[in-house]
Copies of this chain bind each other. A is one copy, B any other.
Amino acid sequence: MNNITIKDIAKRFKCSPSTVSRALNDHAKINIDTRETIQEYAQKMGYQKNSISLSLLNKSTKTIGVLVPSINHSHEAQMIQGIQSVFDSLGYMLIFCVTNEQHSLEQEHIKRLLSNRVDAILVSISQETANIRDFSHFDMVNKRKTPLVFIDRDIVENYGSSVVIDDYKGAYLATKHLIEKGCRRIAHLAGPEGLLVSKLRLEGYLDCLKNHEISPNTDWIKHVEFNIESAIEPTKSWFQSEVRPDAIFGVNDYVCYGAVNVLMDMDIKIPEEVSIVGFDNCPISPYFFPKLTTIDRKSFEIGRLAAQQSLEMLSKDDFISEKSILSPYLIIRDSTQSS
C-alpha cells in the first residue's frame, strides 16, 4: 500500500498534523494560504482520508451489515436495492453476507459484523436458523446494542425490529382469487417447513378455504424449496392422480414456473384446466408464458423501510423495536384469466 497520511503532509510542510487535518476539513481557524497549499498537495499526492482511524475515534463505522440467505431471487435483489437507496446518499457502505440458508454461516457472519463494528444489522434469517431456533447470535447483537432489523423473514421472538410483508393476507388474497375464479381443488406448493413465511402463507391459504367451506386436502399441500426444480416432482404426482387439482397456489413465483413446466409437458391448459397464482411478482412473471398472476411483495419497499427503521434506531440512544407489516396486493394475469 502506498498510504500517504496526514503526518506525511505535516512533515512535508513542517507543520503539525492538526494543522493539516484542519486544512483538509475546511476548519474555520486556518490560514487560507496554508489551507490551499495543503489541499493542493493532498490532491496531487492522491491523499485519501483513512476512515478506519476515524471509525476507531468516533465509534461509528458508517457501515451496515446485511445478511441474507441467498441472492438468487429477484425479490432479494430488489430488497437490496431498497436498502441501498436509503444508505447510499447518506454515505453508508453495505457489508454483505450470504448465509446459504445455513445457521453456522449466519452465526459466523454476525460475529464478524459485530467485530467489524457495523452501525446496524439487517437480517433475513436462514432456514436452518428458523428450524433449530437457536438465536444466540442475535443475543450478542442485542448485548452490543447494535440496531437489528429483521427483513422479509421475521421470527416471533423479540430480538429487534422487523419489516415484512403480510404473508397471511397475501396467501388469503391469492386463494380467494382462485376460489372466485371457480376453483375448488386448490393445491398449495408450500414453502420450507420451519420458516414463519411458509407457515403464514399456508395458514392464509387454509383459512381462506375454510371460510369458503372448502375442506383442504392434505395430499395437495407439499412443502418444497424456493426454487423451480423442487416444484417439479410434487406437481407431477398431483397430476398423475385420478383427481387433479384445478388450481395451484405457489409459495413464490419460482415454484410456479416449475409447475407450469410440468403442466405444459402434460398438455394441460392454463388457465382453462388449471389456474395458477404465485407470490413475489418477479420481473419475469409478466413475460412468462402464461403471464403469471401473483402477489406483489413490495420487496424494494421492504428494503427501504427496513433501512429507515435501522436509521431510526441508530439515532435514538434507547430505541424501541418496531414491527412493520406491509400489505401485499394481487396482480391478475393470464395464469388465472384467459385474455
Chain A residues packing against B (C-beta within 8 Å): 1-3, 46, 48-53, 55-56, 59, 61, 63, 66, 71-72, 74, 77-78, 80-81, 84, 88, 91, 93-98, 105, 111-117, 140, 143-146, 228, 257-258, 260-261, 264, 283-284, 287-289
Contacts and interface: CB of A to CB of B under 8 A. Distances in A.
Contacts of A59: 1, 3
Contact of A261 (B114, B116, B287): B287
A100 B51 CA distance: 24
15 contacts: A46-B140, A51-B116, A52-B61, A52-B116, A53-B56, A66-B96, A71-B81, A72-B78, A72-B283, A81-B98, A91-B112, A94-B96, A96-B96, A288-B288, A289-B289
Top 7 closest A-B pairs, CB basis? A289-B289, A46-B143, A96-B96, A51-B115, A71-B77, A2-B145, A48-B114
Nearest to A74: B72
A26 B78 CA distance: 44
Contacts of A2: 143-145
B77 A105 contact: no
Contacts of A144: 1-3, 46, 48
A93 to B, nearest CB: 5
Contact of A140 (B48, B49, B55, B257): B48
Given A97-B93, A287-B258, A289-B289, A117 B72 contact: no
A335 to B, nearest CB: 12
Contacts of A111: 48
B116 A93 contact: yes
B287 A50 contact: no
Q: Which among A56, A91, A112, A116 has the highest number of chain B CB atoms within 10 Å?
A: A116
Nearest to A290: B289
Given A1-B144, A51-B116, 19 more contacts: A1-B145, A2-B143, A46-B144, A48-B111, A48-B140, A48-B144, A51-B117, A52-B52, A52-B116, A66-B96, A71-B80, A71-B81, A72-B283, A77-B77, A88-B105, A96-B96, A257-B284, A264-B289, A288-B289
